[in-house]
């Protein structure tokens, strides 16, 4: 039997965290949440092969998030573009000094927010035939304070025309980036398919992560079955906030994404979730609540490394 105090505690945590969920793009008035000091915004968009249009959407999302009081804004994987094929994708790839990151740096400075750029397509200097998928964090000065290259590549074929093989054009990352200190807490970087590998999140948690990020472009088939449960599982087992920015809708004739960008608290409750289509929603990150969850259920102290080893002994790299 579920105890009533536990139910009430969960309801109180939801009420404390939720500032704005299920936002409506045009009909909902914008109000700044001045009393919520650690507001984060999670974004949802539909990237195409039109980089200018994608950046226009990014600009709108960042501006709206800033007006809602967000200190840090989280954008999805492939916010820069989703190409129709490998050849087009390789022709559009940029370096970190290219126009995409330069424009994002301007947005960070203009609106006074930190940006989690879920993943942009970066030239691989060691292999001209492939590229990297890179998660970049910018501060309010537009400086890169951390970056991470996607380590787990999505090579899956369900049969028929439903398949995706990232290894044909991506080079996998070779290290884990330590959590980066931000105004809203210590943020651990990952990308999309990484969410299926709990070892990565355990490593980030061991290194002090308070927020785990999974900017994504989940397929509709896998998203409907696994997106929410994976994000909530990573939040519960690591007792961290989890932020999942997402691609949504039809990108081209070959590719469509599930959407439902969301924020999950350390108890596993969904405290913010976007509508269908281009959207942004916000929630408060309460690190005191996070510490209470960890103190009340100290699972980290109960681990039996003598039985199953310590997977948190991981390879890391400098944060930039």
Q: Annotated catalytic sites, by residue?
A: 77, 150, 192
Distance CA 144, CA 115 (A): 10
Containing H/E element for 73? Answer: strand 72-77
Beta carbons of 131 and 124 less than 8 angstroms apart: yes
Is residue 319 packed enough to be buried (19+ CB in 10 Å), middle (13-18) or exposed (0-12)? Answer: middle
Distance CA 189, CA 67 (A): 25
Distance CA 36, CA 30 (A): 15
DSSP for 133-150 reads EEEEEE-TTS-EEEEEE-
DSSP for 102-114 reads HHHHHHHHHHT-E
| Main-chain phi, psi angles of 253, to 5 degrees | -70, -20
Beta carbons of 312 and 77 less than 8 angstroms apart: no
Beta carbons of 275 and 24 less than 8 angstroms apart: yes
SS3 202: helix
Containing H/E element for 281? Answer: strand 279-284
Rg (CA), the chain: 19
């Amino acid at each position: 039997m579920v105890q009533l105090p536990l139910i009430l505690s969960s309801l109180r945590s939801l009420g404390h965290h939720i500032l704005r969920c299920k936002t409506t793009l045009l009909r909902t008035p914008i109000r700044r949440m001045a009393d919520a000091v650690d507001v984060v915004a999670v974004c949802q968009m539909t990237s195409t092969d039109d980089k200018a249009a994608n950046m226009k959407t990014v600009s709108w999302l960042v501006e709206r998030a800033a007006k809602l009081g967000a200190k840090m804004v989280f954008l999805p994987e492939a916010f820069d573009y989703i190409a129709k094929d490998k050849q087009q994708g390789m022709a559009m790839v940029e370096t970190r000094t290219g126009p995409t990151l330069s424009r994002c740096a301007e947005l960070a400075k203009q609106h006074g927010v930190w940006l989690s750029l879920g993943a942009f397509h970066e030239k691989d200097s060691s292999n001209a035939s492939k590229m990297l998928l890179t998660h970049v964090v910018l501060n309010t000065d537009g400086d890169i304070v951390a970056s991470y290259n996607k380590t787990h590549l999505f090579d899956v074929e369900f049969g028929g025309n439903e398949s995706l093989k990232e290894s044909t054009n991506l080079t996998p990352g070779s290290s884990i980036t330590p959590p980066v200190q931000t105004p809203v807490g210590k943020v651990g970087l990952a990308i999309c398919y990484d969410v299926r590998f709990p070892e990565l999140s355990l490593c980030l948690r061991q290194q002090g992560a308070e927020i785990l990020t999974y900017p994504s472009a989940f397929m509709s088939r896998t998203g409907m079955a696994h997106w929410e449960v994976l994000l909530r599982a990573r939040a519960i087992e690591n007792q961290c906030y989890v932020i999942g920015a997402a691609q949504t809708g039809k990108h081209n004739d070959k590719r469509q994404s599930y959407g439902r960008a969301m924020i999950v608290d350390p108890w596993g409750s969904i405290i913010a979730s976007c509508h269908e289509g281009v959207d942004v929603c916000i929630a408060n990150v309460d690190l005191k609540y996070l510490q209470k969850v960890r103190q009340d259920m100290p699972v980290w102290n109960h681990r039996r490394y003598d039985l199953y080893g310590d997977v948190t002994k991981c390879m890391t790299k400098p944060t930039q």
